[in-house]
Amino acid sequence: MTSEWPLWEVFIRSQHGLAHKHAGSLHAPDAEMAVRNARDVYTRRNEGVSIWVVRSSDVVASSPGDREALFDPAQSKVYRHPTFFPMPDEVKHI
């Protein structure tokens, strides 16, 4: 049996200028074929105007065990949200 084609992560930019968003993954022998396959697998219904592919093995991810250390500190900083500051009704356009 031949060696399996490497895995690629696919990111698609939809219309209206939004950022590329993870759509899924697929196997392909090289980057060029990964883009072609991504076009067939993930954009059959006008889902995108641009495709990025990245080797899955090149993605560096945070670990689930670090979830608290990474994300809990933000919970106590409610003043980072505009709703933290009540505005008097008389004040407009703010």
Partner 1 sequence: MYAQMVDTGLKKVVDATEATPEERAFQARVDADVKVEPKDWMPEAYRRTLVRQIQQHAHSEIVGMLPEGNWVTRAPSLKRKAILMAKIQDEGGHGLYLYSAAETLGVSRDDLIDDLHAGRSKYSSIFNYPTLNWADIGAIGWLVDGAAIMNQIPLCRCSYGPYARAMVRICKEESFHQRQGYDIMLAMCRGTPEQKAMAQDSLDRWWWPSLMMFGPSDAESVHSAQSMRWKIKLLSNDELRQRFVDQTVPQAEFLGLKVPDPELRWNDERGHYDVGTIDWKEFQEVLRGHGPCNRDRIRTRTKAWEDGEWVREAAVAHARKRAERAARAAA
Site residues, partner 1 (CB under 8 A)? 1-5, 7, 24-27, 29-30, 33, 40-41, 44-45, 61, 63-64
Closest approach, Cβ 91 to partner 1, in A, equals 39
Closest approach, Cβ 82 to partner 1, in A, equals 28
Closest approach, Cβ 65 to partner 1, in A, equals 9
Nearest to 23 by CA among 4, 45, 59, 48: 48
Alpha carbon distance 39, 32 (integer Å): 11
Q: Which two tokens stand for residue 48?
A: 């995108």
